[in-house]
Amino acid sequence: MSKYHGFVLGLSLVGFCLACRPYRRALRSPWALVALGLFLLTLLPLWYWNFQHDWISFRFQLGMRFDGDTASSTFSLAQLIGYWLISSAYLFPLFGFPLWWVAIRQSGRLVAASVSHQDVQLAHRERYQIALVLWLSWPIVLLFTLLGGKQQIFPAWPAPGYWGLVILLGTQAVVWQKQRPIWVRRWLWGSGLFLGTLSCLALLHLQLGFLQKPSAYAPFGGLVPVEQDGSIELIHTGQLRQLMAADPNLQAALPEVGFVFTNEYYLSGYIAMALHPLRDLPVTAFSQDPRGFAFWFNQTDWLGQDALFMTLERFSQDPAVIELYRPLFDRIEPLTTLALERGGEVVETVHVFRAHTFRETYRYPYGS
């Protein structure tokens, strides 16, 4: 219920039809009413669920997810430029910058042709093809790029818009191929080899700690200290499952508890993937940013049962994290620790606590 790019794409298609005279009749067609009816029928479960839950899905996507980001309360041109550079880097600069150049150039040609009503280099059919691609691409790309000047935006969010602009880059590459075939060949082969090498290094690092410092597999002693390596956030669920299966304290406790909880919604996903092949227990998140966990379970079903609280090393070192959950149980005691290794070094530690007798439900900011 959170992938709302489709709304923007639908509105963009309507905008294309309104902007291009030959396609305006499509909006007056009886098929447009049929499409609208199917659209409303398809979204009926979404509207009905939101109606029952205080429109939480829309409220969250349109504002609540940004409420905690106090550092970015005002628009910043520098932040916008920084986000644009980061997004171009994610596209790979030798593709990202040409992509923007081609998109802006084609947009300028389209506007000039529309104003002058003539363009000897831009036939009507080609003009409408370019217009369709731009209408389906620019709104998403510009929306999230501009929003990047105010809030933290993940590079994947504008991706559907970039997919369309790649068509224009490919078309322009055909023209460049005719003009400078050697340069285009070097551009494509060089980019492919670089990206392939970069992907291999990334996979080696994720699996073996190739760039990690220290690591048994790192050349020259490694480059990135473990405490500064963001890739350790990607928890190896297979290794975690093996550690769970081999830990006698955890294996003895699993049949005696009714559920498992963490303090972060993303951590609950990793724990669930590692745990479920071993034991079918509900895994939830007691967090003020619970996402779907606020709706997926009824906490009253667990009252009177024991639970396992699983968290990461950095959270376990904060006494406030544990104190937050003590009023919900009779007592919470350390049970065991699971040390995740990469390259022969411990990169993350999962702390497991036994929480005895769940007697008060956790209060989410929304949902049940």
Number of domains in the chain: 2
Q: Report pLDDT digits (tens) over 29-70.
A: 999 999 999 989 988 998 999 898 888 888 887 776 666 555
> Which are the contacts of 340, defined by CB distance < 8 A and separation ≥ 6?
235, 236, 239, 240, 243, 346, 347, 348, 349, 350
Residue 163 shares a structural domain with residue 251: no
* b/e burial code for range 182-207 (CB count within 10 A of at least 16 → b): eebeebeeeeeeeeeeeeeeeeebbe
Domain boundary among 179, 194, 220: 179
Residue 242 shares a structural domain with residue 347: yes
Domain boundary among 179, 200, 219: 179
Residue 250 shares a structural domain with residue 153: no
> Is residue 266, in this structure, part of any structural domain at all?
yes
Task: Give the domain range for residue 124.
Answer: 5-41+75-179
Residue 254 shares a structural domain with residue 128: no
How large is the average pLDDT for residues 4-16?
87
Cα–Cα distances (Å) from 138 to 94, 108, 142, in that order, read 20, 13, 6
Average pLDDT, the chain: 90
Residue 128 shares a structural domain with residue 19: yes
Cα–Cα distances (Å) from 220 to 131, 214, 312, in that order, read 52, 10, 30
Q: Report pLDDT digits (tens) over 250-278.
A: 999 999 999 999 999 999 999 999 999 99
How large is the average pLDDT for residues 298-318?
97
pLDDT at 120: 47
CA-wise closest residue to 353 among 250, 217, 282, 256? 250
CA 220 to chain centre: 34
pLDDT at 1: 42
Q: CA–CA separation, 318 vs 273, rounded Å?
A: 26
Residue 33 shares a structural domain with residue 109: yes
> Is residue 186, in this structure, part of any structural domain at all?
no
More confident residue, 15 or 117: 15
> Is residue 239, in this structure, part of any structural domain at all?
yes
> Is residue 184, in this structure, part of any structural domain at all?
no
Q: Report pLDDT digits (tens) over 119-171.
A: 545 677 888 999 999 999 999 999 989 988 888 788 788 888 999 999 999 99
